[in-house]
Amino acid sequence: MDLVQILKDRVIPIVLNQDSTHQNASLFGEKTAVLSSFIPILLSLLKNNPNLISMLQSNLNPRIADLFPHDSLAKNNLIDAVGHTLPKEETESLLNHSIAPTLGALEDLAGSNDDRSIAHYLEQHKASIASALPLWASSILAGLGGLGAGAATGAFASNTVNSVVEPTPTVTSPHVTPSHVAPSSPYTQPPEPEKEKSSLWFPLIALVILAILVGLFLRYCNNKEQVVATNEQPAMSNANAQPAFFQLSTDATGSLVTCQARIGNPTFTDIIQTEVKQLFNHPIGCGVDSSQQYHAELIDQNGLSSILKLLKGVPNATLTWTGSEITLQGTDAAAMQNLAAQIKPLVPNVNVNVQQAVDMSQAVNSSISDAEKALASINPEQVKPLDIATALNLQIINFATASKDIPDANKSVLDQAAALMNRVPNVQLTVKGFTDAVGNAESNKTLSHQRAQSVVDYLISKGVDPSKLKAEGYGQENPVADNATEEGKFKNRRIEFAVTNTETGVEREVSPEGVEKVN
């Protein structure tokens, strides 16, 4: 599989469809050539500097300048070299627009948006990347690590070509002036005048031979690495598996409300399912996922049967067992402590702790304070859309039951955000409303949209351009917590913010786990 060709086939049509300035087939072909030269250079940079991957992913509108944060000369040299006859500004715009779709295609091909997974994927295809690099690219990338171990060799070869004196029709002159002598190199001795002029093709032939040898060497190394990667794949898959997970919640009578088992062992999950159904007299039992993305067992899982018997009849309790940790949460703190004391002897290698129920009022006040501090820390002269969205998502907008009115406590946060929004071009802020699962699903969806629209209307009243705002309501879809508990319902009643680059159409959401690309 030729990775570079796959990316050309995917990325170039996207970029050229965005760019409506091409007027004829000749210009279209010129731009295609520019992108074809740039894509392997971009891949080489990402392969040898994986930190660039996460940095570009977190940027709503990645630019070529982001690849050269401290070397504008290298950036300009690359634009000049790759641009052919295109104007410099047009070339830079073309390259800018190609970065985001290239990252998106790599995430798809690597099967993950994790920067380490993408870097590993690029390493597996380094031979095809190296073979697709233009010869002139070595002189630009050598100082940046873009060619790895071969950078110095490539740079020397490039300099050798550049230092060759063009042949002249007459070669009978017995002398060559110092100004016509190629710069001295530690690798070669200055030739005799007549020999220099009669051997002008030798460096070119040597360069071709060197390129062939390097290509064969890289292909050999790549084949070896692919064999090693194949042999190691089972271990990597197991190491990357998520911890086994079990969660069970009871209602006010101590009966089963919800149960989830995510354990990569179908035999064990069948046993759990049967026992939960019988013990709690519940026809559905647990939601089960026994796929291999989860570990095959919980730590000390033999104690689970006894723990289930302890949980039965305990009102408003939630047990969450992830790997080697059990967390208990409930409305009666003393009952939870007593339950924890009974569970600990059953699972000696598991950490059992009691988590206090959330004080909703305190959580709201703390979230508003955090959001205000985050917005205040943003430099008004260097506003980034993701920073605004990140700060806004820190706050909890706790609407009253069945109300769409924004609480007064949250308005100071929205005031700060409005002042910053007008400093950012080409960005749309999407306000997304969600509810808990109490009540009718359609009514909840309507209410969630009304609440999101209230936030949009408030920002407009503070001077934000309406074209930069959009409201969406999702109702009880996409819960972030269990609706069986009051805390879970509280967390699910929420407003989220996402930013969309109106120039590229890329939407990114911000969560506590980081920046996530939506499309």
**pLDDT in the model for residue 508:** 56
- pLDDT-based confidence at residue 15 (cuts at 50, 70, 90): confident
Overall average pLDDT of the 90-115 stretch? 86
Q: Which tokens sit at 46?
A: 């990402």
Q: How many domains does one find in the chain? A: 3
CA 143/CA 152 separation, integer angstroms: 8
CA 481/CA 493 separation, integer angstroms: 10
Contact 500, 265 (CB under 8 A): no
DSSP label at 427? E
- pLDDT-based confidence at residue 227 (cuts at 50, 70, 90): very low
Same domain (yes/no): 493, 441: yes
Q: Which of 60-74, 136-150, 366-380 has the highest mean pLDDT?
A: 366-380
Name which residue leads in pLDDT, 423 or 175.
423
Q: Which of 69, 73, 15 minimizes the C-alpha distance to 39?
A: 15
In our burial notation (b when 16+ CB lie closer than 10 A, e otherwise), range 460-490 reads eebebeeebbbbbbbbbeebeebbbbebbbb
Same domain (yes/no): 417, 479: yes
- pLDDT-based confidence at residue 235 (cuts at 50, 70, 90): very low
CA 134/CA 138 separation, integer angstroms: 8
Q: Tell me whether residue 465 is in a domain.
A: yes
Same domain (yes/no): 316, 205: no
Overall average pLDDT of the 165-179 stretch? 40
Angle made by CA atoms 444, 489, 360, in degrees to the nearest 5: 125
pLDDT per residue over 370-382, tens digit each? 999 999 999 988 8
354 pairs with which residues across the strands?
A: 328
**pLDDT in the model for residue 226:** 42
Q: Which of 296, 282, 295 minimizes the C-alpha distance to 249?
A: 282
Amino acid identity, residue 499?
V
**pLDDT in the model for residue 73:** 83
Q: Tell me whether residue 188 is in a domain.
A: no
Overall average pLDDT of the 149-159 stretch? 37
DSSP label at 439? S
Number of Cβ within 10 Å of residue 261's Cβ equals: 26
**pLDDT in the model for residue 416:** 93
Contact 19, 32 (CB under 8 A): no
Location of structure tokens 């060497």? 217
Q: Which of 407, 423, 408 minimizes the C-alpha distance to 375?
A: 423
**With 90 as the cut, is the pLDDT of residue 383 above it?**
no
Q: Which of 319, 285, 286, 284 minimizes the C-alpha distance to 303?
A: 319
pLDDT per residue over 490-513, tens digit each? 889 999 998 876 555 555 554 444
CA 244/CA 263 separation, integer angstroms: 5
CA 38/CA 207 separation, integer angstroms: 22
Q: Tell me whether residue 181 is in a domain.
A: no
The H or E element spanning position 420 is helix 408-421
Angle made by CA atoms 407, 408, 414, in degrees to the nearest 5: 90
**pLDDT in the model for residue 461:** 95
Which domain-ending residue is among 235, 262, 286? 235
Helix, strand or coil for residue 501? Answer: strand
Q: Which of 61, 19, 9, 66 minimizes the C-alpha distance to 425?
A: 61
Same domain (yes/no): 379, 425: yes
| Percent residues over pLDDT 90 in the chain | 28
**pLDDT in the model for residue 1:** 63
Angle made by CA atoms 63, 69, 71, in degrees to the nearest 5: 115
Across the chain, what does the average pLDDT equal? 77
**With 50 as the cut, is the pLDDT of residue 224 above it?**
no
Same domain (yes/no): 262, 346: yes
Which domain-ending residue is among 328, 354, 380? 354
Overall average pLDDT of the 93-120 stretch? 86
| Percent residues over pLDDT 70 in the chain | 73
- pLDDT-based confidence at residue 89 (cuts at 50, 70, 90): confident
Burial class (CB in 10 A: 0-12, 13-18, 19+), 231: exposed
Q: What is the CA radius of gyration of the chain?
A: 31
DSSP label at 345? G
Overall average pLDDT of the 295-311 stretch? 91
pLDDT per residue over 446-485, tens digit each? 999 999 999 999 999 999 999 999 999 999 998 988 776 6
Q: Tell me whether residue 179 is in a domain.
A: no
Q: Three-state SS across 67-127?
A: HCCCCHHHHHHHHHHHCCCCCHHHHHHHHHHHHHHHHHHHHHHHCCCCHHHHHHHHHHCHH
Q: Tell me whether residue 431 is in a domain.
A: yes
Burial class (CB in 10 A: 0-12, 13-18, 19+), 446: middle
pLDDT per residue over 284-299, tens digit each? 888 888 888 899 889 9
Same domain (yes/no): 399, 252: no
Start-to-end CA span in the chain (Å): 25
Same domain (yes/no): 345, 369: no
Same domain (yes/no): 376, 349: no
> Looking at 298-388, which runs of residues are DSSP E strands?
317-322, 325-330, 351-354
317 pairs with which residues across the strands?
A: 330
Same domain (yes/no): 309, 380: no
261 pairs with which residues across the strands?
A: 246, 288
Same domain (yes/no): 470, 342: no
Same domain (yes/no): 208, 104: yes
Q: Tell me whether residue 270 is in a domain.
A: yes
**With 80 as the cut, is the pLDDT of residue 232 above it?**
no
**What CATH number is given to the structural domain containing 464?**
3.30.1330.60
Overall average pLDDT of the 380-396 stretch? 88
Torsion of CA 353, 359, 362, 365, to 10 degrees: 110
CA distances from 130 to 39, 45, 117, 469 (A): 11, 11, 20, 44
Q: Which domain holds residue 434?
A: 360-517
Q: Tell me whether residue 194 is in a domain.
A: no
Length of the chain: 519
Q: Tell me whether residue 113 is in a domain.
A: yes
**What CATH number is given to the structural domain containing 302?**
3.40.1520.20
Which domain-ending residue is among 208, 235, 262? 235
Helix, strand or coil for residue 284? Answer: coil
Q: Which tokens sit at 488?
A: 């879970």
Same domain (yes/no): 480, 437: yes
